[in-house]
Amino acid sequence: MVQIPEPAKERLLHLMRILEKNGSGPVTSGQVEGLTGWSSCTIRKDISYLGGDCGGNAVGSSCGYNPASLIPAIKKALGLDRCRRFCVVGLGRLGSAYLNFRPVELEEFELVAGFDINVNRVEIVKSPVPLYPAYKMANLIPRFFIEAAFLCVPEDAAQTAAEKLVSAGIRGILNFAPVVLTVPPEVAVRNVYVVDELRALSIRLST
């Protein structure tokens, strides 16, 4: 795979989102510039990382970028072209909501299981995928080839749950608990801190 710098990866991900939301028509680098603030030069440079057929030739910036060829090229370059399996850990209200989370883009991701430390909850929560008690994570995460987890446990249980996931071989955690997790460097973590988002919104209300 081509070595793409991290900031370019983030921009390509965002560009893919714009292309997906734009429908089937071509998108010009000028339009992308208007939506993102990146210069046309930056956008062309980022797209050049995708290799020949998506650069300035077949889908050049003069006639706009063609979503039909550019989206699959971005997916391939970013490693999003194969389905990844994930699980939900913690089946309280938020975790239960994510058991039923099915946006169209989620064909890239397959939810395969839910886990909770509370066996009673495992039995009563309604779910489209099988639910298991948390002590089975060590066995089932490798057996089901689960790579990532939505961590939806309470704040005070998050670090312990993360450690159990790591020792079960999880490679990525999407952390919803308002806690800074300590995990080995090879495990990827993304945080969804709703309070921080609310605060960031609040700051903008003050100005």
- Name the 3-class secondary structure at 15: helix
Exposed, middle or buried, 102 (CB in 10 Å: 0-12/13-18/19+)? exposed
- Cβ 89 to a second copy shortest distance, Å: 14
Q: Which residues pair with 89 in a beta bridge?
A: 115, 151
Q: Is residue 109 a contact point for a second copy (CB under 8 A)?
A: yes
- Give yes or no for residue 203 binding a second copy (CB under 8 A): yes
Q: Does 188 bind a second copy (CB under 8 A)?
A: yes
Q: By CB under 8 A, is residue 196 in contact with a second copy?
A: yes
Locate all alpha helices (DSSP H) within 2-156, ordered by sequence.
Answer: 6-21, 29-36, 40-48, 67-78, 93-99, 119-124, 137-143
- Using CB under 8 A as the binding rule, the residues of this chain from 40 to 69 that contact a second copy are none
Please, what is the minimum distance in Å from the beta carbon of residue 62 to a second copy? 25
Candidates 45-53, 86-94, 117-125, 160-168; binding stretch for a second copy (CB under 8 A): 86-94
CB of 191 to a second copy, least distance (A): 8
Under the binding rule (CB under 8 A), the answer on residue 101 touching a second copy is: yes
Candidate residues 56, 63, 155, 160; the one interacting with a second copy per rule CB under 8 A = 155
Radius of gyration of the chain (CA): 20
Question: How many angstroms separate the CA atoms of 161 and 116, rounded?
Answer: 10
Q: In what order do the strands lie in the sheet with 172-175?
A: 131-133, 109-116, 84-89, 148-151, 172-175, 188-191
Q: Between residues 126 and 143, which has the closer beta carbon with respect to a second copy? A: 126
β-bridge partners, 27: 65
φ, ψ of residue 84 in degrees (nearest 5): -110, 140
Does position 93 interact with a second copy (CB under 8 A)? The reply is: yes
Which residues of the shown chain bind a second copy in the complex (CB under 8 A)?
A: 1, 9-10, 13-14, 17-18, 21, 35, 78-80, 84, 86, 92-94, 96-98, 100-101, 103, 105-106, 108-109, 147-148, 155, 171-174, 178-180, 188-190, 192-207
